[in-house]
Amino acid sequence: MSLTRKDFFLSSLQICRINEYFSKMATAHLQAGEGPWGSIRIEFEWVPALGRSVTAYFDSAVDGFLIEGFEEV
C-alpha cells in the first residue's frame, strides 16, 4: 500500500470540528486556571478492513476526539 496526498485530505467540516474541539479544550484549560497548554496533534491511522481514522488530541491527552473513522477498542 502506498499513501497519496488524498489520504491526508480533510473536508471543511472536519477542519471545523477540529478547530471547535481545540477551541473548547483551550477555553476549559484556561478556565481551570491551568498554565499554558503545550501541544495539539492530529493523528491519521489506517487499519486494513476498517480504513482511515482521524483523531485530534489536545495538550498531550491520551484520549482524543474522533473526527473520522473507527472507535478504538
Q: What is the pLDDT of residue 73?
A: 44
Cα 61 from Cα 6, distance rounded (Å):
27
Q: What is the pLDDT of residue 50?
A: 86
Q: What is the pLDDT of residue 71?
A: 67
Question: Which residue stretches of the chain have pLDDT < 70?
Answer: 71-73
**pTM for the full model?**
0.84
Q: What is the pLDDT of residue 8?
A: 92
Q: How many CB atoms lie within 10 A of CB 21?
A: 18
Backbone Cα Rg of the chain: 14
Contacts of 73 (CB under 8 A, 6+ apart): none
